[in-house]
Structure 1
């Protein structure tokens, strides 16, 4: 295996690992955020109920406050989750595209180097001369 091809393998492996790590981190963050928000919602509901029972004043407004807080929090969870998922998808797509471009460039560089196409055995074209400017 030429040094160039081994470099391609290393670059691809590193890029794939980076993409996987990013996805895993994003998933963990989403799970943690959702869990924390759910805990906060439960605490709010429990506190409001306990206060109501302790004071023995069940005002009509209290359930409304709970519903509004819970709804707002749920909305925030949904928005944050959607944003994180979209960002993850974009990062993965960009990562895959970058991997593809790097691989293509290196493969072109490694396969076109020192290759001459002979047409009718007398007209010779050095492909590398044509591709070299693109690779710089």
Structure 2
């Protein structure tokens, strides 16, 4: 089971790095286009939440890769932020374009996968795998 936990951790380290890179690109694009186009408040809020989520994904991956007991806290915190984001976005940040609708579906699917990983982390902690 240790190798499964480490593999999941490595995956979320990679995902966290990719998400942080995307957040940096988003910030730069807003800075460039912000000089002549105003970014809607909902878009700014979404970017802020997604940035926090990216850091939490990286932290959860690192803690699970190290088989540290803080993985439970990191995974639960990240799961909660993702759930709040999806609830908020379903009301205040609904996609209209087909590409954005597809991306939202992918985000929802990623949330379900992260839920399974979180349940695995809780199970692994209960079994004493995390130290």
Higher alpha-carbon Rg: 1
Q: Give TM-score, length-normalised by structure 2.
A: 0.40
**Structure with more of its chain in strand, by fraction:** 1
